[in-house]
Amino acid sequence: MADRAHGMHRVTLDTRLDDCPLGRVTAAHDVTLTTPYWNLSPETGRCDLWVEASSPGRAQLESGMRALRDADGVARFELKRKRGSNATAHVVLEETVAIETVMANGGAVIAPFRDRDGWERWHLGFAEPRAAAATLDSLDRRYELAVVEQAPLGGSAAADVFRNFDEAATLLDGCARLTEAESRVLRTAVEHGYYETPRGESLASLGERCGVSDVAISKTLRRAERKLLGAAVSALADLDTDRLNVGGGDGR
């Protein structure tokens, strides 16, 4: 009973799954695969996935997608969207030993998992720490793995993300709307002290660093700031609304 007092237990780990096509594809190809949605069918034992793929370029993406389509263990592959160096695919896989082990111990995947360079990052949730320990022990005997973090879910930063999923998604959407040029210029400005007091970089010197005019840098920064600040203000408004609702809705 002492274990149950801790509540939900969260484990973040990196693992190489030799029986998972996603890991094998990313080990051989310059592509990152993120799986935000998945479902395990008890009737068929297969995993139904929606996979977001990204690569440095179109050629690497197409190579990775072909490899995933033709990989052993892929029962179904349907390309849903492809744009530039990004794509979305509906994939059905045979169940892996790893998923079977997690579910046999009462665990659950509580966040999207990501495959890169042959490694898959998992965020798992368990009702009690001893179930997490049993799962890790079983997985460690079968796979190469590294535990990144273990913590009670209620006391972790991840718990705030789950409780405020919509607000977190709003912030991420603001980041995703940045163009490659806006992202690069904004990172450069932050790294070189443009937003410090006093400023470590002027618009002119920032323009020289990025190879464009100070006028172009100013416009690019304003566009990036508008996107990020707009997302942040929307997220803050939603957080304030949630606090009011929790407090009774009328602020009293």
Q: pLDDT tens digits for 33-62?
A: 999 888 887 777 788 999 999 999 999 999
pTM, to two decimals: 0.67
pLDDT of residue 40: 82
CA dihedral sign, ordered 227, 230, 233, 238: negative
- What DSSP letter does each residue of 141-177 carry, written as one string? HHSEEEEEEEEEGGGSHHHHHHHTHHHHHHHHHHHHT
At 21, the pLDDT band (50, 70, 90 cuts) reads very high
pLDDT digits 0-9 by tens, 146-161: 999 888 766 555 556 5
Percent above pLDDT 90 for the chain: 57
- Output the average pLDDT for the chain: 86
Closest alpha carbon to 52 in 92, 98, 90: 90
What is the pLDDT at residue 4?
41
φ and ψ of 34, to 5 deg: -115, 130
Task: Say whether 125 sits in a helix, a strand or coil.
Answer: strand
Say whether pLDDT at 196 is over 70: yes
CATH topology (fold) of 164-247: Arc Repressor Mutant, subunit A (1.10.10)
What digits encode the pLDDT tens for the residues 62-74? Answer: 999 999 999 999 9
Residue 164 pLDDT: 66
Average pLDDT over residues 1-5: 38
Mean pLDDT of 85-107: 90
Answer whether residue 167 shows pLDDT above 80. no
Query: By C-alpha distance, which of 4, 6, 3, 10 is closest to 150?
Result: 10
**Inter-residue contact 103 to 86 (CB < 8 Å):** no
The amino acid that residue 188 corresponds to is T
